[in-house]
Amino acid sequence: MPVIRAADLVKTYGDFDAVAGIAFEVEPGESFGLLGPNGAGKSTTMRMIGGTLLRTAGVLEVLGLDPETHGPEVRASLGVVPQQDNLDEELRARDNLIVYGRYFGLPLSYLKPKADELLEFAQLTEKANAKVSALSGGMKRRLTIARGLVNEPRVLLLDEPTTGLDPQARHILWDRLFRLKEQGVTLVVTTHFMDEAEQLCDRLIVMDHGAIVAEGSPQDLIRRYSSREVVELRFGSDRNAAVAGELRALVDRSEVLPDRVLLYADDGEALLETINRRGLNPLTSLVRRSSLEDVFLRLTGRSLVD
């Protein structure tokens, strides 16, 4: 049985369709991603899964129950990591975990060792008695994730887990999330970072304007919607458009962005050689593997991070 099942799920605000009829299923133990730009409807979907936002229409089942009518029961088995940290600033780090566990009705005899275990998992053992306001952004994020694990949830909902963190903090966090996945926790992650989706997700849906535009594993999506490699060229902002016509003739697919031209090819080095032989002389050139960013560009004509 899927842990989450959505069908024709709709959320409207007045005339605006935040989520415009989406359908997906999440299997137990899976790491499932919702990828899309800001405003695509990812967080709205997450909040409907947690039962803290009512849907306008459609079917939604979490662990076999409707989160709208069985909110407390559904949330008892969920871990929620919201986009904005909402730690209890009036409590210290360790007390945040214990008190949050009490909200689930968990006994102190369970929570005291659990809090220490989670602090260690979040690499915050030294900060156990620190005030929340004294923690860095990355530490707060890890504490929020640790808090979301206090009830040993079957499903962990992570809304933009690493937004606003520096690269080092992001990698620590990814490592921790990967360990959870290994333990069989079902992860549902929203992100607008393609590298994050590639790192964390077994399977994902790409969302845009409240609708699903593609679904599959990251590799699968890249294979289906992009070439093996991409050549990125910069000719300077005036010349990018001017040479685009000539470049386009060389490949099946190209994208002209304000600052660079992307050419899609199976053999990037060979294509770059051809370009150089023709004397087009780009200022900079880069051959790389295709990513989800390219998939998104292909599907929507826009980049993920504007």
Question: Which stretches of the chain bind other proteins, using CB under 8 A?
Answer: 50-54, 69-73, 75-78, 80, 82, 84, 86-92, 95, 99-100, 102-107, 110, 117-118, 120-121, 150-152, 154, 179, 183-185
The token pair that represents 220 in the structure block? 């699968």
For 75-84, b/e burial (b = at least 16 CB within 10 A) is: bebbbbbbbe
- Can you name the residues that pair with 253 across neighbouring β-strands? 264
Minimum CB distance to other proteins, residue 108 (Å): 9
Nearer to other proteins, 95 or 255 (CB): 95
User: Rg of the chain over CA atoms, in angstroms?
Assistant: 22
Nearer to other proteins, 185 or 271 (CB): 185
Q: Using alpha carbons, select from 242, 237, 233 the residue that is nearest to residue 283.
A: 233
Minimum CB distance to other proteins, residue 71 (Å): 5
Nearer to other proteins, 103 or 178 (CB): 103
Minimum CB distance to other proteins, residue 135 (Å): 16
Decide: residue 223, CB within 10 A, 0-12 exposed, 13-18 middle, 19+ buried: middle
The SS3 assignment for 113 reads helix
Minimum CB distance to other proteins, residue 100 (Å): 7
The CA distance from 65 to 250, in Å, is 54
The SS3 assignment for 275 reads helix
The token pair that represents 139 in the structure block? 């530490």
Minimum CB distance to other proteins, residue 51 (Å): 7
Nearer to other proteins, 7 or 54 (CB): 54
Nearer to other proteins, 44 or 191 (CB): 44
> Do the Cβ atoms of 81 and 149 come closer than 8 Å?
no
Nearer to other proteins, 33 or 51 (CB): 51
Minimum CB distance to other proteins, residue 185 (Å): 8
> Do the Cβ atoms of 67 and 77 come closer than 8 Å?
no
